[in-house]
Structure formats: C-alpha cells, structure tokens
Amino acid sequence: MPEPISLVKAVTDLAGKVSPRIAVTLFIVTAVLMLLAWQAPGNFTWIDSLVQDYKTAVGLTMICSGALSFTYAATSLHAAYARRKATHNKSAEAAKRLKALHDRLGTLTLIEKHMLQEYIDCDARVVQFNATLGRCDALVDAGILRLTQLYGVKGTYMISDEAWDYLSRNRSLIATPYNPRSPRTFHSEY
C-alpha cells in the first residue's frame, strides 16, 4: 500500500498534466455513467454493473475532473476579469490625462498662445524655440509639447497629437484678437 503523501503527490502531479478539455470530457462521461446507472438501472445493465464494480474509481474521477474543470473555468474567468479591469484602468487614466490636457489648454498665457498659434497657423507639427528661456517648460510639463532635439540654445518642440486635435477644433483657445502675434524671425525671442 503506497503512503498517503506519495499518493496525493502523484494525484496532484497528474492533475497538473491534465488539460482542461480532458478534465471536462472525463467529468461529463463519468457524470453520464453515474446518472444512467442511477436513473435507469434496468435499461442499461452493463453500465449499471460497470458503475457498481468501479464505483470508487468512477466517483473519484468525476469529483477530481469536476474540480479541475471548475478550477480551469474559475481561473479563465479571473484572467478575463483582470484583463478587462486593466483595460478599463488604462482608459480611465487616459481620460484623466486628456481632461487635464484640455483644462491646461483652457488656461494658456499670452506667450503660450502665441507659441501654439505658430503650430496651428503654419500647419506644423514641429517648431523651434529658444530652449534657454524656459517658456516651453510649462507646456512640456503639461504634455502639450515634447522636446525632440536641442541645437545649442534652440530646441525643436513637437506638439502632441491630442493637443493638435483639440486646438485645431477649438481655435478660440489660442486666439489673441487684441494682441496679435508678430511675425517671427529666426532670432526672435520665443
């Protein structure tokens, strides 16, 4: 007679090797055998005798395969729920970030409006500004601009896609009718 611990170890090792399809199939087959032997004992005598002769093995197979099937199903549902929750959290974070960007675009200073007008009016995604003056730093911190390259004191800044789309639809956010932007030369101070 094998030791109970080694028997449990052998069963758990075997359970780890059983695929979900086999576990579900074993559960269904053994459940049908037990049901047929219980419901119609006179109609299927060979099934009745089979189940009576191997009652312990059939019962344990049904219980173990049922437990494995339930475990696989619960694990799959939990994994699907975790993926759904992670996707929802990412979309909620993106919505918060987009709202913060829209709020920041609603509170631009005059110089920031003039800088962003250059992107929208010239239909440019990349513009050079003087990086040493620090006027772009607040826009970079807000996620509106991104410093792509630095050439000495000049920095090349790219506008984010979200800011570009929002400002293209809402040009009034960067409109300065009483203080228009002066034409910029290569050495102008922005």
Domain residue limits, the chain = 4-103, 110-174
What separation in angstroms does the CA of 137 have from each of 73, 107, 164? Answer: 51, 15, 18
Tokens at 91, concatenated:
């979309």
3-class secondary-structure state, position 46: helix
What is the reported pLDDT for 40? Answer: 64
Nearest by Cα to 63 from 104, 115, 102, 11: 11
Return per-residue pLDDT of the chain as tens, 190 residues.
556 566 667 666 766 677 778 888 888 888 887 777 776 666 667 777 777 787 888 788 888 888 888 888 888 888 888 888 888 878 888 889 999 999 999 999 888 898 898 898 888 899 888 887 778 888 999 999 999 988 888 889 999 999 999 999 998 999 888 877 766 654 455 5
3-class secondary-structure state, position 155: strand
What is the reported pLDDT for 183? Answer: 65
The domain 110-174 is placed in CATH, from the list 1.10.3470, 1.10.10, 3.40.50, 2.60.40, at 1.10.10
Whole-model pTM over 0.85: no
Taking the C-alpha atoms of residue 178 and residue 181, their distance in angstroms, rounded to an integer, is 10
What is the reported pLDDT for 186? Answer: 46
